[in-house]
Structure 1
């Protein structure tokens, strides 16, 4: 269960513990993001080296001024002016180079985030439906929006702060070695102390950092879920309970942040500032015992000690953000490793719309078979209805026909071509779907029918007429250009369903699949849908899963499923003639329910 949850969040099991896998996944994502920007990155690093080198000249120039002019009281105007001018030019050039380097690196980071975000979203769109069975919407949104920002943080923290700090450290150590190798060795003793502090900090803060991001995703998921189901929450008086659940998660997030902050407060700035003071005291004491050293050397070493400790402080101060970025990048990388829906590369074509199902077995989990040896032939242009009790396998069969799940090879053929040999784009153009709950964009009626396809106004209108949606669309204040609101809020349930049918027909499919498309609409709208389906007979192969049996009463054949097997097959009259048959019982039961409800209406 934990492993499944981790995968649903875009996490590998164990990634939340901040271990080697997290570091490796983050490093791989950063490497992939760097590749298109290598030329710009090399320039930014070159400027970084130049800026660090120019900044390292400052203490050396100060040492030369003290030893050559200040202590000897040798006031040579030209020499002093040359030193001051050199220091000024070096500072100005270093500042300009820093600015250019920072701007270039920031632009590089933002472009990388843009590419990664588009790549992640495109990858999510190509994931199989089995992934979304276990995924949580709010957490996926967090992966695409928040965690992709981790790439920018990795750029800025790793390639700017840390790389810059390392270059400054190396430059300072080289300069100190040139001045006096004995004092340099004293400063070098800071390295093991720093390694110990960083190791201790990581051990204490890494679990809290990972837990914080996990809880942040959970907060996003709860907010998204509550907003989407607000009508149900208010109607069932569950708002207080959901608010309390959110408060509990938010409190856990606060406690996790507190643990992280306590580690920061103890092990970052205070400890490092103390080490800086201690190191300065040791350097000054040793300098006092080495009388042969010049005062300028002490000045330079005091400057270089601060240049050594400050980068170390910066590295450790950024370590918290770096850990968060690594966890986020690891989540993104793990999500990108999710296998996409296989794309057929062969040239199978859908020309007539005939469907042949032979010996179809299917199971979601090993040992738990859902469909058992289905055999069914659907002629081109025919109208087939599929009915059965809940859990009989209706939706599973429809999902296999839509390639949302992979059917056993050869068990489903369309126009003689195995399902997995039909090209993806061609398949989606030739197979249309009308879902039970129509999905509408917060856009116009025209955009909801076209769905980004390059359709002419005439094609959109023709699809709307075929779905019997044209009349109510032109009755809107702006006709086809009327915004429908989020989720089609301005339309009735029946009107939404007609828009969904028009959308499916706009692609001129050869096969139209309906997933209980009339279960939520009134009888009048159901008759409109029936007229639309009747008009398609002979032109489009229609396969309709129906909860309301009146929708498929006129179908050419009705398939009755029971526990994943075909229990009955025939026309409405043939099935009704089977005394005590499953279809007969279902139909009579619905008729009885409608008769009981009709007086109340």
Structure 2
């Protein structure tokens, strides 16, 4: 068995583990239905040989015999209905659980995974691939299992009727397995490639929509259209290769095999090469050949979908095997908010460190600004404090405890983040501040007032119930940033981190942010990575990073006093730019 199939079967067993009793009950109904269906031709053979041909009409016997044929058919139909409900329910519930598990797993993956992940492909894993896994249940539990049982029952009945004639039928069956093997060898590469190309198309569409403004502004529409057309052409080629395999090796080849089987059985019967044959046996064999070949046709016709589902299951399984972030400890909550970096060294590639032996102590309630040139390590320092990554050497501590010893619940409750690019849900203002924490209206409004955005929200047509639109399209960048600050404050954190929170806002909104920070000064520990140095001018300490190391540290006045210092040059350059813009 190939690695992909092993992974697919492992995923099936995992997702369907809570459904064992439903699987066994469905299997029992399927087996009983197949046995009853196999009885039909036997009863028909008995009727032909004992009543129809000899014209031996015994009304009660004939009535009982025909009633038995009718009853077996009705019971088999009822059992098929129950089997369908059971096994279809297994497939639907297993796919639902799997989809939730995959989504939950993606949410828990470390940030290092998303550095290389492509959004469109991840969306395809969670939606398309998990839906394809449902088809895997359908193909395996319905078509494959049903067909195998029906074929085995028909072959057993034929062997019981006349083992020599059954042997003639069985000698032609290896041709079916040859057809299936050839189809797999021919179609599998095309199916795998088509699945990957579909994922690539999803990724390209998601990427283009997310960057549509930049794409159109740079006149790249035609280039992106050509790239999409090339991928789409490759998908078309893969699908056509799969279609050619279907056209040659599925229904046409197996229909030919069915004709050969019928011709062989009739020729053997007509030539009397097997003694003792009755007309009823011929009727039963003709019926059973259809019951043997048709399930085999169904299996091979579904093989294309099965192959796609196996590939999808392999991809889902691969995603589920991605390592999660290291489990955090069970430490108590963050009470003070003291932060310290102790000889921290880190690099996204361990061979090329971004931070070099960084040591920094931030007292509880202090306001610290982090500045530096692009690539100096500012955002990396913040990412380590947020536990997105773990340092290769040294420790990051809160209240004297390493981050790894603080529980996730305590850490998320004690640390708030205001990102550079505010993320807003396509939901109400209240929902965007609450973020599913179940906060009271009073708590939401208090956070909005602390962030200076309460007046803006109540001025909207529906106040806190006003829908913000996808990505907060109804708001300016500055207004979105204020809501992001309110969201962070709503959790009443002991530490508030601002990642260049004022880099995209106007001067008026910047003043609102500065006022919000001034109200928080001394109440929470404030750590602000700043592009606009004016926002951290009142910070207790300003830390200047240069090439991953602390180059300067002190208050604004102290750093400005350093002749030709890094901070002094940065500040004076920004002041000059501001004067030029106003002039």
Short-chain TM bin: over 0.9
Verify: 1:354 aligned to 2:342, yes or no.
no
Hey, what's the Cα distance between the residues in 2 that align with 1:423 and 1:454?
Answer: 20
Query: Is this contact kept in 2: 1:348–1:418, CA < 8 A?
Result: no
What value does the CA root-mean-square deviation take over the aligned residues?
A: 1.2
Equivalent residue in structure 1 for 2:97, among 115, 122, 130: 115
Q: Which residue of 2 aligns with 1:126?
A: 108
Q: Aligned ranges for residues 552-591 of structure 1 at < 5 Å?
A: 552-591=536-575
**Number of residue equivalences:** 581
Q: Deviations over 1:281-313 (max 9, x none)?
A: 122222222242111111111111111111111
Equivalent residue in structure 2 for 1:89, among 71, 74, 78: 71
The residue matched to 1:411 in structure 2 has which SS? Answer: strand
Q: Which residue of 2 aligns with 1:13?
A: none
The residue matched to 1:148 in structure 2 has which SS? Answer: helix
Query: Is this contact kept in 2: 1:169–1:307, CA < 8 A?
Result: yes
Equivalent residue in structure 1 for 2:386, among 402, 405, 409: 402
Verify: 1:417 aligned to 2:426, yes or no.
no
Q: Which residue of 1 aligns with 2:83?
A: 101
Query: Is this contact kept in 2: 1:410–1:419, CA < 8 A?
Result: no
Verify: 1:22 aligned to 2:17, yes or no.
no
Q: Which residue of 2 aligns with 1:176?
A: 158
Hey, what's the Cα distance between the residues in 2 that align with 1:432 and 1:293?
Answer: 85
Q: Which residue of 2 aligns with 1:214?
A: 196
Hey, what's the Cα distance between the residues in 1 that align with 2:277 and 2:497?
Answer: 89
Q: Which residue of 2 aligns with 1:4?
A: none
Verify: 1:482 aligned to 2:466, yes or no.
yes
Give 1:349 deviation, angstroms: 3.2
Q: Judging changes above 3 Å, is the alpha-carbon distance between structure 1 residues 408 and 365 closer, same or farther for their aligned structure 2 residues?
A: closer
The residue matched to 2:504 in structure 1 has which SS? Answer: coil
Query: Is this contact kept in 1: 2:346–2:393, CA < 8 A?
Result: no
Q: Deviations over 1:318-371 (max 9, x none)?
A: 110000011111111111111112221331431100011111001211311111
Q: Aligned ranges for residues 473-512 of structure 1 at < 5 Å?
A: 473-512=457-496
Give 1:191 deviation, angstroms: 3.1
Give 1:192 deviation, angstroms: 1.9
Hey, what's the Cα distance between the residues in 2 that align with 1:290 and 1:329?
Answer: 49
Q: Aligned ranges for residues 149-228 of structure 1 at < 5 Å?
A: 149-228=131-210
Structure 1: give runs of 5+ residues left out of the alignment. 1-18
Higher deviation after alignment, 187-196 or 362-371: 187-196
TM-score (norm 2): 0.98
Query: Is this contact kept in 1: 2:347–2:392, CA < 8 A?
Result: no
Structure 2: give runs of 5+ residues left out of the alignment. none
Hey, what's the Cα distance between the residues in 1 that align with 2:14 and 2:305?
Answer: 21
Hey, what's the Cα distance between the residues in 2 that align with 1:348 and 1:389?
Answer: 37
Verify: 1:468 aligned to 2:452, yes or no.
yes
Higher deviation after alignment, 502-511 or 336-345: 336-345
The residue matched to 1:365 in structure 2 has which SS? Answer: coil
Verify: 1:262 aligned to 2:244, yes or no.
yes
Query: Is this contact kept in 1: 2:350–2:392, CA < 8 A?
Result: no
Query: Is this contact kept in 2: 1:409–1:420, CA < 8 A?
Result: no
Hey, what's the Cα distance between the residues in 2 that align with 1:73 and 1:447?
Answer: 82
Equivalent residue in structure 2 for 1:437, among 407, 414, 421: 421
Query: Is this contact kept in 2: 1:147–1:331, CA < 8 A?
Result: yes
Verify: 1:533 aligned to 2:521, yes or no.
no
Query: Is this contact kept in 2: 1:409–1:418, CA < 8 A?
Result: no
Q: Which residue of 1 aligns with 2:300?
A: 316
Verify: 1:240 aligned to 2:225, yes or no.
no
Q: Which residue of 2 aligns with 1:338?
A: 322
Query: Is this contact kept in 1: 2:150–2:292, CA < 8 A?
Result: yes
